[in-house]
Structure 1
């Protein structure tokens, strides 16, 4: 495994600005034993993939601990599928390139597993291509509480409503799916204080890219393929706000804490009320969150 062209381009630019060499690759192709134990303890996974029209989306699946499993070092199993109104219901009902991130907000631990998914019964089998362990920066500490709930009727549109814009503005967390353009998808996390994502209008968002692990996998994908899918979970109500569109990267941000700024143009919106069966405690914000 090595970095692709887009990742190398962004790394070289950022390293030159910082006066140092780019980071060497720090990902693997297998799931280590300690990571298997981590996966089996988690109640949620975020997945990113492209739909039949080529639009990228992010979604979240939840279940009791144990619904994620790694029966061997090259396989991740998920005992669940998206609901019928989920924008990835069709895509994950057939073989697909998929990026995933498994997050444990209570401990601020996370890992990414990317590969190729195949539906098996009422779940997914993911053949692993890439495994990435990430640092805990910008994850807000929360504890989950399962509830007996079912998704409501999905609301669809081509731009944000006023209530959806307000939800984005107060968000302290979202997830982003990107791809290198050849079907190799990735899912990642973004966090900060409320209003770190700016709603410039109903079809235009902007956020800063804070200092991270130096791999620039998300930005590298966007350099070669601008499609992106965002997921804003409502931690209190379980609603899932899915956005699909295009993103461009500006590498000369005005903010002192940012390495870059991303402008996102909304193409489609799907909001699924009660899309998650988990509710979460009030956040304990990460101490490294930059001021807004």
Structure 2
């Protein structure tokens, strides 16, 4: 089946004068796993999932495990066998909506693959029927070796960012962003840049740049027609995760543009809920 953009993506492509490049990039979207995908996915020790909760809020979640915890069953189906984590609400999200977006990323090789589809089974493993499969360029991916033993037991939930979270976000060179189309199809993408490329404006507001990419504008196209958004920050040394869900808007012109070298536009994020998962023995 030929891939087609939705109205939000087409609108942002037009605003960014990128329609021609976007049409070329659309040719890379497949509805089956190429042979190389199986070996790639088997090597991974983590994958990022985009889901929607019962209130249609977008969340980006970390799933991790030893090599082989992700496998391709056939040319349209992938299996994920994540360990059960205390406080993880991903299963609850999948009960509310069976659409899912996945980002398979290997920092050591700087390879990444997007997989969007429908969840066929939720227990004891997540089985996804893939509808869109495509690779993205390695730009802005940091070369690091993540630990797969990421199984935090403690959870803190808040509606405001404290000093600890502000410092974490301000020092990050990577985060993941979940969004959804108007018809509730989630997608998740990677964002990278120099430390401090995400700025905290106040206890509920972040702003970050959008750099040049493949011109598909999947994330910004979603935000254009549906502002729900989820951000995920990972502490690769400790295994902590910080999930944020809220609303986002695209800033096309701003006096703040000069603070973000090479930015083409900005995204402002307004927090609704923050969830910090950490090792209870070490403290949050």
With normalisation by structure 2, the TM-score equals 0.90
Name the structure 2 match of 1:271.
276
Counterpart contact for 1:46–1:59, Cα < 8 Å: yes
1-structure distance, mates of 2:220, 2:10? 10
Structure 2 residue 66 is matched with structure 1 residue 64:
yes
2-structure distance, mates of 1:144, 1:227? 28
**Aligned-residue RMSD, C-alpha:** 1.8
- How many residues are matched? 271
2-structure distance, mates of 1:23, 1:144? 32
| CA positional deviation for 1:273 | 0.5
1-structure distance, mates of 2:235, 2:64? 14
Name the structure 2 match of 1:262.
267
Name the structure 2 match of 1:224.
225
| CA positional deviation for 1:177 | 0.5
Deviation per CA, 1:148-188, whole angstroms, max 9, x where unpaired?
A: x6422210011111101111111110001100021211010
Name the structure 2 match of 1:102.
104
With normalisation by structure 1, the TM-score equals 0.88
Name the structure 2 match of 1:209.
210
Structure (1 or 2) with the greater helix fraction: 2
Deviation per CA, 1:44-79, whole angstroms, max 9, x where unpaired?
A: 100011011211101011111111111111111101
2-structure distance, mates of 1:156, 1:145? 24
Name the structure 1 match of 2:52.
50
2-structure distance, mates of 1:94, 1:54? 9
* 5+ residue gaps, structure 2: none
Matches within 5 A, 1:30-49: 30-49=32-51
Query: CA 1:27 to 1:274, structure 2 compared with 1: closer, same or farther past 3 Å?
Result: farther
Q: What is the SS of the residue equivalent to 1:164? A: helix
Runs (4+) off by over 6 Å: none
